[in-house]
């Protein structure tokens, strides 16, 4: 994905539309985590961060990532 498009999306002011703001943030998080599935994002906890790394078990396959 083109960095210019990502920056435009990241910088859009959506404070007046909180649902769109949340959807945008979830999309960007998925993008930054190399395409993490929504179901995996929904099950993340603070304990998934250890020593500065995000570690989680993939719901579909059970693999640790």
DSSP letters for 45-63:
-GGGEETTEE--B-TTT--
**What integer pLDDT is reported at residue 13 of this predicted model?**
96
Q: What is the mean pLDDT of residues 50-56?
A: 95
Q: What is the mean pLDDT of residues 8-21?
A: 96
Share of the chain above pLDDT 70, in %: 98
Confidence bin at 12 (pLDDT 50/70/90) = very high
DSSP state of 33: T
Distance (Å, whole) CA 17 – CA 15: 5
In angstroms, what CA-CA distances link 30 with 8, 16, 23, 43? Answer: 17, 23, 11, 13
**What integer pLDDT is reported at residue 11 of this predicted model?**
96
**What integer pLDDT is reported at residue 65 of this predicted model?**
93
């Amino acid at each position: 994905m083109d960095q210019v498009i990502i920056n435009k999306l990241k910088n859009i002011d959506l404070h007046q539309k909180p649902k769109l703001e949340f959807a945008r943030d979830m999309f960007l998080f998925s993008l930054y985590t190399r395409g993490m599935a929504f179901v995996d994002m929904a099950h993340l906890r603070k304990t998934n961060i250890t020593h500065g790394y995000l570690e989680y078990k993939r719901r579909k396959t059970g693999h640790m990532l």
